[in-house]
Structure 1
Amino acid sequence: MTRISVVLITHNRREQLRRTLRHMTSLPDDAPILVADNASTDGSADLVAREFPRVRLLRLVKNLGAVARNLAVAEVTTPYVAFCDDDTCWQPGALTRAADLLDAHPGLASVTGRCLVEPGLGEDPITPELRESPVPGPDWLPGPALLGIMAGLTAVRVDAFRAVGGFSSRMWLGGEEELFALDLAARGWWMCWAEDVVIHHSPSARRDPRERRRLGIRNTLWTLVLRRPWSAVFRRGADVLRSAPFDAATLAALAEVVRGLPGVLAERRVVPPRVEEGLRLLEGPQRDSAARRYVG
C-alpha cells in the first residue's frame, strides 16, 4: 500500500523545478507526486506535463500561495502527505521514514525533518531551535515536540490537515505554517522533529527579501492576534518588531496588519492553556534565534 504522497507548489522557477522533480521522481520511496503550479508564466506547468508525465499537475489560474497545497491535498488518496517546495529535495528513505513514524504514533500529526542547505550541506539555522525545543511532550513522542513547522520539510497526516482546514487564505504565503500548527495543537494533535528525516534545501536566487519580510511580519502579527492572549500579542509582537529594520517594508506590513484587524478579530480563538504554556517556553529561543530576525 502506498502510504505517502508528495505535494509540491511552485511559481516561476522552471529550471529549479526541473532539478527538484528529477530528484524527487528518482527516489526509491516511489511516492506519487502532485505539482500545484501557482499560475506560472515561465512555462513551468508545460515543463511538468512534457517531461514528467507520471507527475499529477494542477494548473492554477491564480497565484494562491500556500492555499495551492490545500487544493492538491484534496486530491491525495494516501493517509500522509509530504510537502515539498521547488527548492527542497527529500533525501532517499526520508519519505518512508516519516510515514513509518506516523504509522507508529496515531496521535502524531506531523514530522518535520532535518534541513541541510546546499551546496555545503550545513544545517539550516532553524535546526538548533527544533532539535532543542523546550515544548513538553508525551513520552511516546519520537522526537522533540514542536508548536510550529516548516512546510517544505514536513510530512502531515492527511486527516489532521483536513480537520483544521489546511493553510489559511488570509496568510497567503510566508510564515503561514504557524497558524496551521497552532490549530493542530489546539485540537490535541502532536508535532515533532526527526533527525533522521533529511531534506536538502537549495535556496532560490529568485527571491525578494523585502517582500518576504513584509509577509512574514504581517503573518506573524496576525497569528498572534488570532491565537494568543493579549499579553502575549504585545510581548511577542514587540520582539518581532525590534528584530526588523524600520523601513518601507516593515511599515507596509504594519499597515496591512491594521487594515486586516477587523476580519482577524472576528476569527480570534485563543489556544488552550496547555498550548499557550508551550508557546511561552518558546519565546526565549525565538527571541535569540538568528533564523527569526526579519532583516531581509
Structure 2
Amino acid sequence: MVTAAPPSPDLAAEAPAPLAAAEPAEAELTIIVVSYNTRELTLACLETLYANTKDTRFHTVVYDNASSDGSAEAVAEHFPQVELIASQDNLGFAKANNVVAATARTEWLLLLNPDTEVHPGAIDALLAFAKANPGAGITGGRTVFPDGSLNIASCWMRITPWSAFCMAVGLTAAFRGSALFNPEGMGSWQRDSVREVDIVVGCLLMIRRELWEELGGFDLKYFMYGEEADLCLRAAKKGYQPMITPDAQIMHLVGASSGRVADKVVMVAKSRVSLIRDHWSPGMVPLGIGLMWLWGAVRVSAAQIIALTGKTGPREKWRSIWARRKEWLAGYAA
C-alpha cells in the first residue's frame, strides 16, 4: 500500500488568493468544487446547492483549474458568496482538493463535482447521515442522470482478482445486472438503500476533516481517477467502513470535463493498475497486471473483428489504447 504523506503546511501557499468569500464564520461544512472548463455546469451546480440546502451551515470553495471558458469570471459574477480560487495551472482533481482542504477549518468536508445538480435536502441528509454513522468515515449518496434514471457511479466495490477476471473476459459487460459477474458495480442494486460499500466516488464524498488529515488527503500520484478509491481503501485499513445513503441524491453527468474517449480509458486503466499495485498483496500483483493486459488484448481483438462488418470506430479507438499499453500497465509513478 502506498500511503500519502500528510498535506504540507506550505500546500495552501500554492493556491492563488481567493477572489471572493462571504460565508458565515460558524460554518460546519466546507464544500469543495474543483472545476475545469465547465462554466454552465458549475453555475447550475452552485445554484442548486444554495437553493436546495436549508439546514446545513456551509462554506463553498470553487477551485478553478485554469479554465479557458470563463468559468472563474462567471462564478465571481453570479456567486459572490463563494470563495473562488482561480488557478493559473491545472493541478488536477486530487491536488486541487488537497490545496483547498489544507486551509479548511470546518469539522466536515464535502467534495462535490461541478457537473452535478443538488436535489432538495441532499446535503442536509448526507451530513446528518455522516454524523449518525461515525464508523463509516466516508459517506456518499445516490446519483441519477438528467432524466432521473439511475447513475450507478456514486459508489463501487474494490477490485479483486475475480472482478478483474470478469472485466477482462467480458463477463462484467455481458452481465451487468449480476452481482456475481459485476461485483464492483454490485449487480442490479439500485442504490436505493443504506449500504456499506468499499468506494465512495468523489462526485459526492463527505468526510470528517480530522480523518482527511489523518489519511493525508488524496495521494497525489493519482492525477485523475482512482484517487477516491485509494482514499477509501486506506480508510478501511484504519477500521472505517464507507457507506451510502439514498436520501442524499444528486444529478451527475459523469466525465463532463474529460477529454477524448481514448485518453479517458487510458487514465482509468492506469488508475486501476495503480490500485492493484497499492492495495493487493505483492504476490497477487503480477496476476492483476496480467488481467489488465488481457482486458486490453480482448478488446483490441474484438474491435478488429467488428471492423470486418464495416464499423471501424471501435478498432481505431482500441488500437490507440493498445498502442499505449506500456503507459497504462505501468500505472502512476509513486
Scaled by the length of structure 2, what TM-score is found? 0.68
Matched residue SS, 1:190: coil
| Contact 1:174–1:212 (8 Å) recurs in 2 | no
Matched residue SS, 1:113: strand
Return the match for 2:243 from 180, 192, 197. 192
How far residue 96 of structure 1 moved from its aligned partner, in angstroms, is 1.4
How far residue 128 of structure 1 moved from its aligned partner, in angstroms, is 9.0
- Give the 5 Å matches for 1:128-277: 143-203=194-254, 207=258, 208-244=260-296, 245-246=299-300, 247-252=319-324, 254-258=326-330, 263-264=333-334
Which residue does the alignment assign to 1:277? none
- The whole-number CA distance in structure 2 between the counterparts of 1:47 and 1:243 is 42
Shift of the 248–161 alpha-carbon distance from structure 1 to 2, 3 Å rule, reads same
Please tell me whether residue 47 in structure 1 is matched to residue 47 in structure 2. Answer: no
Please tell me whether residue 97 in structure 1 is matched to residue 125 in structure 2. Answer: yes
How far residue 84 of structure 1 moved from its aligned partner, in angstroms, is 1.1
Q: Which amino acid aligns with 1:157?
A: R
- The whole-number CA distance in structure 2 between the counterparts of 1:122 and 1:190 is 27
Which residue does the alignment assign to 1:86? 114
Which residue does the alignment assign to 1:58? 85
- The whole-number CA distance in structure 2 between the counterparts of 1:128 and 1:216 is 15
Which residue does the alignment assign to 1:291? none
* CA root-mean-square deviation: 2.7
- The whole-number CA distance in structure 2 between the counterparts of 1:150 and 1:34 is 19
Matched residue SS, 2:264: helix
- Name the larger-Rg structure: 2
Identity rate of aligned residues, in percent? 21
- The whole-number CA distance in structure 1 between the counterparts of 2:77 and 2:284 is 50
Residue range with higher mean Cα deviation, 26-35 or 188-197: 26-35
Which residue does the alignment assign to 1:13? 38
| Contact 2:155–2:201 (8 Å) recurs in 1 | no
Shift of the 8–127 alpha-carbon distance from structure 1 to 2, 3 Å rule, reads closer
How far residue 231 of structure 1 moved from its aligned partner, in angstroms, is 4.2
| Contact 1:115–1:201 (8 Å) recurs in 2 | yes
How far residue 230 of structure 1 moved from its aligned partner, in angstroms, is 3.0
How far residue 2 of structure 1 moved from its aligned partner, in angstroms, is 3.4
How far residue 196 of structure 1 moved from its aligned partner, in angstroms, is 1.5
Q: Which amino acid aligns with 2:141?
A: G
Which residue does the alignment assign to 1:27? 52
Note the residue ranges of structure 1 that are not aligned, 5 or more in a row: 135-141, 265-296
Scaled by the length of structure 1, what TM-score is found? 0.76
- The whole-number CA distance in structure 1 between the counterparts of 2:148 and 2:68 is 31
Note the residue ranges of structure 2 that are not aligned, 5 or more in a row: 1-25, 158-178, 185-192, 301-318
1:216-239 C-alpha deviation (Å, 9 max, x unpaired): 111110121122113442344444
Shift of the 109–40 alpha-carbon distance from structure 1 to 2, 3 Å rule, reads same
- The whole-number CA distance in structure 2 between the counterparts of 1:237 and 1:146 is 24
1:124-150 C-alpha deviation (Å, 9 max, x unpaired): 1446966x789xxxxxxx932222121
Q: Which amino acid aligns with 1:6?
A: I
How far residue 77 of structure 1 moved from its aligned partner, in angstroms, is 2.2
Q: Which amino acid aligns with 2:71?
A: S
- The whole-number CA distance in structure 2 between the counterparts of 1:216 and 1:33 is 28
Shift of the 224–193 alpha-carbon distance from structure 1 to 2, 3 Å rule, reads same
1:42-99 C-alpha deviation (Å, 9 max, x unpaired): 2211111121100011122211112101111123222112211111123221111111
Matched residue SS, 2:203: helix
Matched residue SS, 1:219: helix
- The number of aligned residues is 254
